[in-house]
Amino acid sequence: MAATTASKARVDPSRPPTYTAAMGEHILMIEDDERLAAMVGEYLGEAGFRVSRRGSAEEGLKSLGQENFDALILDVMLPGIDGFEACRRVRATSDIPILMLTARGDPTDRVVGLELGADDYLPKPFVPRELLARVRAILRRRKSAPDRAGPLRFGQLEIDRDARQVRVAGGERALTSYQFALLLAMAERAGRVLSREQLLDLMKGEPLEAFDRSIDVHISRIRAAIEDDPKQPRRIITVRGAGYVFARSQDGDDGG
């Protein structure tokens, strides 16, 4: 990034809001602008985070495969592999919280980033205090995610991983093994827009059902099983041109 971009993102004179990251949560920042990365690292460091910086997506992806990080701050405009492709690769193998940064103001970029699996998106120039707030928010959402060891509950809908059963208001609903796996993958990522390509990636390893390989048809059949009105779904929502999102809040209750 140009030095002018970094100067616009200068750290506020005031200290960050009082916040101590849990046991020095480790943030990976993939950003080729050294000056900007240094300022962000200093600001987040004052809030209790540890920040490691990599100057390219290639270096960052390698680090993600070798170390444990609690969140990823990912620039879009990078040398070589850009941030969008890096996000796609990360999301194919990891559910680490991702906050994307860009100097481009096109709203389409934000949509693309979220479709690829980013948890949040922040345009440059930004106020460091807002960056901190967004990092805290994606980490909070991770901590409040449903317990992967037990059943998932969303209002009257219950997804029992161990029994591989789905119940609505206590009544069991019939799904094939593939449909159950697809519903579970979406529910574990409640609130996130998932493209058809991402859903197919998540279903790798699951045996395809010979009679049908269409994600759309499977979604339709899942809706028929779990929705009160499949024609006006409230649990699995279509995001036109983007994919599907499993609603975090259902029947007036929060998921989990």
Answer with the one of 143, 164, 192 that is the final residue of a domain. 143
Q: Same domain for 158 and 227?
A: yes
Q: Same domain for 172 and 127?
A: no
Q: Same domain for 217 and 94?
A: no
pLDDT digits (tens, 9 = 90+) for 16-74: 444 445 547 899 999 999 999 999 999 999 999 999 999 999 999 999 988 889 999 99
> Residue 159 carries which side chain, given as an amino acid letter?
I
Q: Same domain for 95 and 62?
A: yes
Q: Same domain for 98 and 125?
A: yes
Token representation of residue 7 = 């100067």
Q: Same domain for 10 and 135?
A: yes
Domain count of the fold of the chain:
2
Q: Same domain for 173 and 118?
A: no
CATH number of 208's domain: 1.10.10.10
Range of the domain at 238: 152-254
Q: Same domain for 247 and 208?
A: yes
pLDDT digits (tens, 9 = 90+) for 201-256: 787 766 555 444 588 989 999 999 999 999 999 999 999 888 999 998 776 554 55
CATH number of 105's domain: 3.40.50.2300
CA distance 44 to 39: 9
